[in-house]
């Protein structure tokens, strides 16, 4: 059952049948796992809202729950402070996504870097994606503006697709940057196989909520779903630094 389907089950009263426990962490975990066994819960902690607990899932997604686990909320939690509305959910999600991406070894990415990068973006890419190709054509401009571009693989049609095979050949090439240039220019990339991270990165992208390509992750973990022109993207990337 997907996380988004969790709440239909809650509406049917599955969670309400659980007894109230003295330990909120255990009560919330028990309630969620009763509805979706194996739910990827990373942490349960008190949220800034009194009486509400924040549930962090692997990949950055957030849920909120009552201390007894009988009520669960999926959505944004805002805090109104000094005349401004702060999206606490987005902040928490971005921090988690940044930590997840930063845990990936740079050697497992295909990187295009300027001599003195000011910041970086991580792009989940598919070589068969038109907007990915357009974004790649602007990588030199992004580099000129001080933005390092780090590619991770995300074959939109799944493993075994043409895109997955091409991405594997890129990652296994003697010169991955050159192979990426060819793939994004719609040129044939010599087939190659090796021990590669394509499948693992595809799964990671799904975990953090990537649904299409290009999916751009700023240094602070903010996700930009889709192509952005180089000047606009560089401005966002430098702000996120």
pLDDT at residue 61 above 70? yes
Helix (H) or strand (E) holding 96: helix 88-102
pLDDT at residue 18 above 60? no
The active-site residue out of 29, 68, 128, 129 is 129
Looking at residue 83, its pLDDT comes to: 86
Looking at residue 81, its pLDDT comes to: 86
Q: 169: which 2 tokens?
A: 């050949």
Which residues fall within 8 angstroms of residue 76, CB to CB, at 6 or more apart?
A: 87, 88, 89, 90
Instruction: Mark residue 62 as left, alpha or beta (left: phi above 0; alpha: psi -120 to 50; beta: remaining).
Output: beta
pLDDT at residue 8 above 50? no
Looking at residue 9, its pLDDT comes to: 45
The active-site residue out of 29, 61, 150, 156 is 156
- Rounded CA separation 118/147 (Å): 6
Task: Report the pLDDT averaged over residues 100-109.
Answer: 96
The active-site residue out of 126, 128, 150, 172 is 126
Task: Report the pLDDT averaged over residues 203-219.
Answer: 95
Looking at residue 60, its pLDDT comes to: 86
pLDDT at residue 15 above 70? no
Looking at residue 228, its pLDDT comes to: 95
pLDDT band per the 50, 70, 90 thresholds, residue 17:
very low
Choice among 8-22, 92-106, 174-188, 194-208 with the minimum mean pLDDT: 8-22
**Percentage with pLDDT > 70 across the chain:** 91
Task: Report the pLDDT averaged over residues 148-177.
Answer: 96
The active-site residue out of 29, 61, 132, 150 is 132
Looking at residue 236, its pLDDT comes to: 97
Task: Report the pLDDT averaged over residues 192-219.
Answer: 96
Q: Tell me, yes or no, if 172 is annotated catalytic.
A: no
Q: Tell me, yes or no, if 129 is annotated catalytic.
A: yes
Task: Report the pLDDT averaged over residues 196-224.
Answer: 96
- Rounded CA separation 85/230 (Å): 29
pLDDT at residue 110 above 70? yes
- Rounded CA separation 2/141 (Å): 39
Spatial CA neighbour of 88 closest among 79, 99, 97: 79
Q: How far is CA 129 from CA 47, 187, 220, in A?
A: 39, 13, 25
- Rounded CA separation 71/69 (Å): 6
Q: 158: which 2 tokens?
A: 């799944």
- Rounded CA separation 132/136 (Å): 6
Helix (H) or strand (E) holding 215: strand 215-218
- Which residue shows structure tokens 């990949």? 59
Q: What is the pTM assigned to this prediction?
A: 0.82
Q: Tell me, yes or no, if 132 is annotated catalytic.
A: yes
Q: Cβ(28)–Cβ(53) under 8 Å?
A: yes
Q: Cβ(212)–Cβ(206) under 8 Å?
A: no
Task: Report the pLDDT averaged over residues 4-27.
Answer: 54
- Rounded CA separation 35/25 (Å): 16
The overall average pLDDT reported for the chain is 90
Highest mean pLDDT pick, 69-73, 111-115, 158-162: 111-115
- Which of the 8 DSSP states describes residue 107? G
- Which residue shows structure tokens 């090439």? 173
Can you tell me whether residue 125 is helix, strand or coil? strand
pLDDT at residue 201 above 70? yes
Task: Report the pLDDT averaged over residues 12-32.
Answer: 67
Q: Cβ(156)–Cβ(131) under 8 Å?
A: no
pLDDT band per the 50, 70, 90 thresholds, residue 20:
very low
pLDDT at residue 21 above 70? no
């Amino acid at each position: 059952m997907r996380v988004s389907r969790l709440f239909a089950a809650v509406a049917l009263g599955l969670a309400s049948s659980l007894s109230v426990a003295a330990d909120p962490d255990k009560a919330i975990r028990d309630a969620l796992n009763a509805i979706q066994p194996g739910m990827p819960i990373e942490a349960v902690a008190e949220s800034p809202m009194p009486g509400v607990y924040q549930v962090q899932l692997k990949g950055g997604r957030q849920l909120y729950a009552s201390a007894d686990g009988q009520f669960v909320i999926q959505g944004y939690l805002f805090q109104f402070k000094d005349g401004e509305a702060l999206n606490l959910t987005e902040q928490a999600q971005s921090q988690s996504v940044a930590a997840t991406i930063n845990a990936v070894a740079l050697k497992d990415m295909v990187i295009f870097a300027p001599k003195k990068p000011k910041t970086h973006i991580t792009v989940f890419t598919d070589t068969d994606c038109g907007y990915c190709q357009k974004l790649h054509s602007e990588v030199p401009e992004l580099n000129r503006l001080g933005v390092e571009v780090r590619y991770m693989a995300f074959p939109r049609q799944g493993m075994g697709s043409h895109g997955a095979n091409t991405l594997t050949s890129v990652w296994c090439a003697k010169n991955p940057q050159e192979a990426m240039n060819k793939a994004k220019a719609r040129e044939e990339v010599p087939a190659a196989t090796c021990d590669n991270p394509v499948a693992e990165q595809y799964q990671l992208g799904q975990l953090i909520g990537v649904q299409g390509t290009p999916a751009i992750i700023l240094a602070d973990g903010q996700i930009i779903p889709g192509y952005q022109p180089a000047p606009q993207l560089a401005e966002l990337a430098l702000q996120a630094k």
